[in-house]
Amino acid sequence: MSQKTWGGRFTGGTDQRVEQFTESITVDKRLYRYDILASQAHATMLSEVGLLTLPEAVQIVAALETIGDEIEAGKMDYSIALEDIHTHIEQALIARLGDVGRKLHTGRSRNDQVVTDVKLWVRAAIDRTDELLVELQKAFVGSAVRDQHVILPGYTHLQRAQPVLAAHYYLAYVEKFQRDRERLADCRKRANVLSLGTAALAGSSLPIDRESVRIKLGFDSVARNSLDVSSDRDFLVEFVFDLSMIAIHLSGWAEEWAIWSTTEFNFIELPDAFCTGSSIMPHKKNPDVLELTRGKTGRVIGALQQLMILLKGLPLAYNRDLQEDKAALFDAFDTVEGCLSVAAPLVAQTKLRRDVLAARIEDGFLDATTLMESLIARGVPMRTAHEAVGALVKRAEDGRGRLVDLPVSAFEAVAPGGGEAVRASLGVANAIAAFRSYGSTAPTEVAQQLAAWQDRLA
């Protein structure tokens, strides 16, 4: 007798090349835990509504548990002839329980089964990603506490712009990863809707109780439209988008620190344990972790594209194309999980080179914008102040000096009666102290934000 779950309709076997071409077991076997959980909930429900006897359900639940343990122990014989993890587990059950095992698939289809398993997997993957994001946020907050008052050059266009407190800098990343966490939480809502019980596409004529299964599997609600949900992979695209956004954030940070670790910048010292050397150049210490983080982002974004292109143009309801979703999903998650796992300890162990930063912090006219604002505060129209400071910068640059090296008369010309005071307010420390707006790098603002983050992440 054919081992195929759909053997009745067919005469003769499937072409070996077709089995090879259509199998998904090599990819979806990692869903086994969730497949077993969902089947156990389903079997229990079937006994509640009289489609199985209680002893039958008890037998099925126990046998599924054993099958799960065996898979865990590496004892499952996988065969492409059985196509996917759902069939493998069902066949293992039938091998154990005979006719009782043959009742499990009552009132369900692989179409609702597979999307239920994937939703359970995504739910756990979201929780794991969130956990790793929290660790990364904590690492940045730890650095913010350690370097709270260190002044860094802030850049736009990778040109020196205005000074910022190191704590402000680190917290910028904490905010980005917080938005990523919020996106994940939002995606989780749509993933956490029960699909099981929609059966093939139209529902079932049997008295199944979907609410009972929902409760057992911890879903928030039951999908309302069977036709919709058996083909719904929106949550998957959303999740991989969220992963892409995380990867994009990580890659920007990685690029920045790769630059900061160069001899030219020399702002940070990366931990040896997170760098590698060169097989020929003895002096090299390369930021490979940062580079790979940057590089792997392409893979994650690629997976997102793959999924969107996979879904476009699919008619309702289940189409076999959908089987292709899991390879992209798993790879995107594994990649981001890998990146996040090394990012947190790397951040925690990287030190700012405070001496190098301090020695160069007065370079690059970081105080020019604050000077302009001080003129505005004295009543000079903004555009006039901008032009005047621009001219002062040009003059200082021509003399290879800083703004503070210009004579008092230069400031007196733009701030009559206040030249001395204006000149005395130059320099990055004064510039930092002058900030006051909400969300700025003002020391009091930063201290408040830092305390709030310490609270939130405690």
Question: Is the Cβ of residue 24 or residue 162 nearer to ligand ARG in the bound state?
Answer: 24
Binding status of residue 117 toward ligand ARG by CB under 6 A = no
Burial 137-147 (b: 16+ CB within 10 A, else e): bbbbbbbbeeb
In the complex, least distance from residue 179 CB atom to ligand ARG, rounded to whole angstroms: 32
Q: Residue from 40, 111, 116, 297 that binds ligand ARG (CB under 6 A)?
A: 111
Question: Is the Cβ of residue 110 or residue 188 nearer to ligand ARG in the bound state?
Answer: 110
Binding status of residue 28 toward ligand ARG by CB under 6 A = yes
In the complex, least distance from residue 113 CB atom to ligand ARG, rounded to whole angstroms: 7
Question: Is the Cβ of residue 112 or residue 256 nearer to ligand ARG in the bound state?
Answer: 112
Active site residue 157: yes
Active-site hit among 2, 221, 278, 341:
278
Active-site hit among 79, 157, 425, 437:
157
What is the pattern of x (binds ligand ARG, CB under 6 A) and - over residues 308-337? ----------x-x-xx--------------
Active site residue 42: no
Binding status of residue 24 toward ligand ARG by CB under 6 A = yes
Binding status of residue 114 toward ligand ARG by CB under 6 A = yes
Residue 318 sits at φ, ψ, to 5 deg, of: -70, 135
8-state DSSP, 223? -
- Please tell me the total number of residues recorded for the chain in this structure: 458
Question: Is the Cβ of residue 20 or residue 384 nearer to ligand ARG in the bound state?
Answer: 20
| Secondary structure (DSSP) of 139-206 | HHHHHHHHTTT-EEEEEETTEEEEEEEHHHHHHHHHHHHHHHHHHHHHHHHHHSEE-TTSTTTT--SS
Q: Is 252 exposed, middle or buried (0-12, 13-18, 19+ CB in 10 A)?
A: middle
H or E segment and range at residue 349? helix 325-349
8-state DSSP, 83? -
Give the number of residues in contact with ligand ARG, rule: CB under 6 A.
11
Q: Answer yes or no: are the C-beta atoms of 362 and 428 closer than 8 Å.
A: yes
Binding status of residue 112 toward ligand ARG by CB under 6 A = no
What is the pattern of x (binds ligand ARG, CB under 6 A) and - over residues 71-110? ------------xx-------------------------x
Q: Answer yes or no: are the C-beta atoms of 391 and 181 closer than 8 Å.
A: no
What is the pattern of x (binds ligand ARG, CB under 6 A) and - over residues 374-413? ----------------------------------------
| Secondary structure (DSSP) of 272-318 | GGG-B--SS-TT--B-HHHHHHHHHHHHHHHHHHHHHHHHTTPPSS-
Report how far apart, in Å, the C-alpha atoms of 115 and of each of 99, 199, 232 are.
26, 11, 8
Q: Which amino acid is at 336?
A: V
Binding status of residue 239 toward ligand ARG by CB under 6 A = no
Question: Is the Cβ of residue 4 or residue 181 nearer to ligand ARG in the bound state?
Answer: 4
Q: What is the contact surface with ligand ARG in residues (CB under 6 A)?
A: 24, 28, 83-84, 110-111, 114, 318, 320, 322-323
Catalytic residues: 157, 278
